[in-house]
């Protein structure tokens, strides 16, 4: 009886893991930020408009990625399928692989959704000219009601930063 090199469970797991690793590494490179302290390369050295004001309210919000990349689902399905393929033999192994891939995909998608959420603040600012503006951004800079702030805007996101 001929046994393929790839029929060995540990070898299959190693092959899938080595194929999935670059996908997870590339997904980690796509790091978006809603921080008032983070500028993209294209936003650096760009003139911005500065408006002064006072914080009139701060509310905790959750900032969520607009769209999943699918990496969690695909990676979870691949790892779940390979891990479950070691269960049983013949048709049982095939069914276990399918079930493992489905469960792995669901778990991977849930993990990706959870990782795509950031704690944020919805900040309402009464500008010195009388206008009121609201900006949501990451909760990485503490802001409180009555605090004087600068609103920076132009050619990108608007940021609320302490004076």
State pLDDT tens for residues 75-127.
777 777 777 766 766 666 777 777 777 887 778 777 766 666 889 999 999 99
Rounded to whole angstroms, the Cα distance separating 35 from 162 reads: 13
36-65+119-162: CATH topology: OB fold (Dihydrolipoamide Acetyltransferase, E2P) (2.40.50)
Higher pLDDT, 128 or 71: 128
Residue keyed to tokens 């909760």 = 139
Question: Does residue 9 surpass a pLDDT of 90?
Answer: no
Mean pLDDT calculated for residue range 43-53: 88
Q: What is the pLDDT of residue 56?
A: 98
Q: What's the whole-number mean pLDDT along residues 16-43?
A: 60
Q: Give the integer Cα–Cα distance in Å for 127 and 149.
A: 9
Spatial contact of 137 and 122, defined as CB atoms under 8 Å apart:
no
Q: Domain residues of the chain, as ranges?
A: 36-65+119-162, 69-115
Interatomic CA distance for residues 101 and 106, integer angstroms: 9
Partners of residue 161 on adjacent β-strands: 150
What's the mean pLDDT in 48-55? 96
User: What integer best gives the mean pLDDT of the chain?
Assistant: 77
Cα 39 to the center of its chain, rounded Å: 17
pLDDT average, residue stretch 134-147: 95
- Asked which of 10-24, 37-51, 69-83 is least confident by mean pLDDT, the reply is 10-24
Residue 159: pLDDT over 80: yes
pTM of the predicted protein model: 0.54
pLDDT attached to residue 25 = 45
């Amino acid at each position: 009886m001929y046994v393929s090199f790839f029929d060995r469970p540990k070898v299959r797991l190693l092959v899938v893991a080595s194929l999935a690793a670059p996908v997870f590494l590339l997904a980690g490179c796509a790091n978006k930020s809603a921080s008032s302290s983070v500028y993209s390369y294209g936003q650096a050295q760009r003139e911005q408009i500065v408006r002064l004001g006072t914080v009139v309210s701060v509310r905790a919000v959750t900032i969520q990625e607009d769209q999943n990349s699918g990496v969690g689902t695909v990676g979870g399905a691949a790892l779940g399928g390979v891990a479950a393929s070691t269960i049983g033999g013949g048709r049982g192994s095939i069914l276990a692989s399918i079930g493992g891939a489905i469960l792995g995909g669901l778990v991977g998608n849930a993990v990706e959704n959870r990782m795509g959420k950031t704690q944020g603040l919805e900040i309402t600012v009464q500008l010195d000219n009388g206008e009121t503006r609201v900006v949501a951004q990451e909760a990485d800079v503490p802001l409180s009601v009555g605090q004087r702030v600068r609103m920076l805007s132009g050619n990108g996101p608007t940021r609320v930063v302490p004076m």
